[in-house]
Structure 1
Amino acid sequence: MSDRGKREPLDSHPDEPHQGGGLSTRLNWLRAGVLGANDGIVSVAAIVVGAAGATHVVGPILTAGVAALMGGAVSMALGEYVSVSSQRDSEQALIATEKRELAETPEQELEELAGMHQARGLSPETARQVAGELTEHDALAAHLAIELNIDENDVASPWNAALASAVAFICGGIIPLAAILLPPDAWRVPVTFLAVLLVLAISGALAGHLGGSSRGRATFRMVLGGALALLSTFAIGLLLGSSGTT
């Protein structure tokens, strides 16, 4: 294949088998869901706690919380849609290029496929045989898998990604919104702090598990970041409330 022979696979681990819509893809979606929920928890919690620091009236707190919940969900959905759309466009362009090259230079593509299998440790004869059999079965799928780690039938949908991101944000944001509104006035902020930090600890441990890192460190970072966000916005709310600017 001409000058495209130097192109590196999109996957950073080319020796790993192509997983397409398998476990790796599902874990990526789950990880994105956890992160989206965390954004909802921290964002909404910071705003409602700040509002509660400035006023004890339920109306402004509810208004601020609902606005944060809906605004954040829309923002997350738009960001995810743009990001996944860009990825999808790039993958579809690569697929179109591969289709064209397979149609125009099939022998050269066959030699390239054999060469990549040989680079993975197969003998020249075996590599050639494997490449030939894969080409007969599905030449495009074989090239996409070994070169680019792409499954033509598993290109992400930007609409699905946007919806999933928005739903995850809302599910996370409902927790602090409920925690600030349901308890009596004197318990609103303490209950919200406790609920948010507890949920962040659980999601931090889950994120660490999914990422293969230390659960303790991931939990500590998540809880520390959430606590700092809540303390800072609550302090700002208190200052604004006591100064009479609200």
Structure 2
Amino acid sequence: MTRHIHREMHRTERIGWLRAAVLGANDGIVSTASLVVGVAAANVSRGELMLAGVAGLVAGAMSMAAGEYVSVSSQSDTEKADLARERAELLAQPEHEHQELAAIYIKRGLSAELAAEVARQLMVHDDLGAHARDELGISEMMSANPVQAAFTSALTFSVGASLPLLAAVMAPVSMVVPVVAGTSLVVLTALGAISARAGGAPVFRASLRVVFWGALAMALTAGVGKLFGTVV
């Protein structure tokens, strides 16, 4: 009889791309909607409004991509440096590294004898992988991927930013502020719910969080636009 091994799917497997995707989409909606609302509150023409919105989309997408790439690259460089140091220690002091790994398993509840045997077998199979996972906390699933993070953030930022721009195009000039703000808050609520479901977090709390900060950002920029629009 053939035995099929059931592979469980855990939400932590999604954490790399999910974080970048949610961050990008949220920033795209909030920053672009806030920009459009702020400029619209200054009573500009539709052409000027759309120019500001499109410029904000392009600049924001590139900023997100660059920021994600730089930050995740720094994390990746740190991981590579730690792995190189660990590789050198395994070559220079294999017995010490074996004891170090066994001590980790003892702290997790194994007996000294079993911990030593588990550490021995894992190091025979893949010594660097065992230490990377259990000593350094680095796994393939959680490893930093700068290109993936940059591309995901830029793409989702652009998608998110296009929604308030589309609302601004379709709304009458006199109704741009309420239409863009209302549409953006609805989309932010949906985004919070989707990201919460994907990550296994409470839906209401996640939705409330993104809606609150989105509404605050739009309110502040609308006030600035109204103030400076009146002054100028």
Normalised by the length of structure 2, the TM-score is: 0.87
State the one-letter code of the partner of 1:86: S
User: Which stretch of structure 1 is more off in the superposition, 119-128 or 83-92?
Assistant: 119-128
User: Which stretch of structure 1 is more off in the superposition, 75-84 or 205-214?
Assistant: 205-214
1:131 maps to 119
RMSD: 2.2
Instruction: Tell me which of 105, 110, 131 is aligned to 1:122.
Output: 110
The 2-side partners of 1:171 and 1:121 are apart by 48
The 2-side partners of 1:231 and 1:98 are apart by 51
- Provide, for residues 197-238 of structure 1, a one-character-per-residue CA deviation record: whole Å limited to 9, x for no partner: 101112223444456654333322322222222223223323
* Structure 2 counterparts to residues 89-238 of structure 1, below 5 A: 89-151=77-139, 155-209=143-197, 214-238=202-226
State the identity %. 47
The alpha carbon displacement at 1:160 in A equals: 2.0
Which aligned runs of 4 or more in structure 1 are off by greater than 6 angstroms?
A: none
Are the counterparts in 2 of residues 73 and 166 from structure 1 also a CA contact under 8 Å? Answer: yes
* Structure 2 counterparts to residues 27-66 of structure 1, below 5 A: 27-66=15-54
State the one-letter code of the partner of 2:151: L
State the one-letter code of the partner of 1:241: G
The 2-side partners of 1:129 and 1:235 are apart by 66
Matched, 1:88 2:100: no
User: Which stretch of structure 1 is more off in the superposition, 234-243 or 196-205?
Assistant: 234-243
Structure 2 unaligned spans of 5+: 1-8
The 2-side partners of 1:234 and 1:181 are apart by 18
The alpha carbon displacement at 1:192 in A equals: 0.9
Are the counterparts in 1 of residues 36 and 49 from structure 2 also a CA contact under 8 Å? Answer: yes
State the one-letter code of the partner of 2:209: R
1:77 maps to 65
1:5 maps to none
Residues 226 and 155 of structure 1: is their aligned pair in 2 closer, same or farther, counting only changes over 3 Å? closer
1:17 maps to none
2:4 maps to none
Q: Secondary structure of the residue that 2:86 maps to in structure 1?
A: helix
Equivalent residue pairs, number: 224
Q: Secondary structure of the residue that 2:135 maps to in structure 1?
A: helix
Higher relative contact order (CA 8 A, sep 6+): 2
Residues 155 and 211 of structure 1: is their aligned pair in 2 closer, same or farther, counting only changes over 3 Å? closer
Structure 1 unaligned spans of 5+: 1-20
- Provide, for residues 144-186 of structure 1, a one-character-per-residue CA deviation record: whole Å limited to 9, x for no partner: 1110121368632212211111111111111101111122323
The 2-side partners of 1:227 and 1:154 are apart by 33
